[in-house]
Structure 1
Amino acid sequence: MNTNLPLVLGSGSVFRQAQLQRLGVSFQTARPDFDETPIPGETAEQTALRLAVGKARSLAGRFPQALIIGADQVAWCNGLQLGKPMSVANAQQMLAQSSGQRIVFYSALCLLNTASGGLHTHVDKTVVTMRKLGSGQIRRYLEHEPDAVYCAGAAKSEGLGAALLERIDSTDPNALIGLPVFKLVEFLAAEGVEVV
């Protein structure tokens, strides 16, 4: 195993960067260039995995001798995929629709070894039960958590968003933030990178 390969996080997400920093591994970030439009007929889980792998592969030309982490998250509620709202108006609508509902978050992860072509993939499933929310609560939440517009389903669980949630069912609490850390540690170890 070549443990000298640089580690690249293929994401502009400050949330994922913070998660990876907490592991204490040396890495650099690069913004992937990949179309994130869902494909008709694709499940939320399939979309998340395709985007995670696509993001990593889109950086392979720039990093031909590296370990590239690709990640994406798609939320599913009431038969609809919920992506990142990207605006306060969209976030208000998403949160109103998901009020009192169960949302399934699919957090996809891949680790691409561009030197060997090896690819590790995983999709973590987290089920979140939202509290019943009034329009005033939604407005105040978005005023205090402006970054929520960059989170799938507009629910930023690691901040004030915790007040919106009634229950979280997950095998990896990190996955809801955007990076399934438990699996990432396993994938890195398989590529000769020991976190501890």
Structure 2
Amino acid sequence: MNVKEGDNVLIHGATGGVGHIAVQLAKVLGATVTATYSPANSALAQSLGADHLVDYTTAEVDDYVATYTDGVGFDKVFDTVAGDNIQKSFQAVRFNGHVAPILPIADPLQVALKALSFHGVLVLIPLFHGINHESHGRILTMIAELVDSGKITPIIDDSNYSIWEVARAHDHLELGKAVGKITLTV
């Protein structure tokens, strides 16, 4: 979405495997970041550096849009939750804003009704289709440099699953028990 200094960005799922990196990266890029989180992960959410935190279990979209954007809507919304949550993203973004979910959406009508720029995020596309390898490599190199310099800190879930326990790892994720990235051991 070409996040840049001065952008007002909403990130859904701040403490998840993708969300915790997105919050930190948006801050490094100079954005004002509002992030949704679960109360169970409050301390971790607070440690990520977002300017504003929203408890998704109690907050109404209209309320945090009013509070953090003066009712205009966020410039850019990154939705790591997707599914039914995508409607919250469409509700929270400004007209002509940008929305990027990590999963496909069923009904693109909202994209047209708000004249949005819509960005599907699937990191593996360059690998699957043999395209944009150089661009993808530059992005990965930049992220690695930010991690090495301590500007971004990856969070690894405390779970311990082997490569043969993928179904259990998925269950852990789907039950909302994962914090950060789930890894599998070989």
- So what's the TM-score if we normalise by structure 2? 0.30
Which protein, 1 or 2, shows the higher relative CO under an 8 Å CA cutoff with sep ≥ 6? 1
Kindly indicate which of the two structures has a greater share of residues assigned to strand.
Answer: 1
- So what's the TM-score if we normalise by structure 1? 0.29
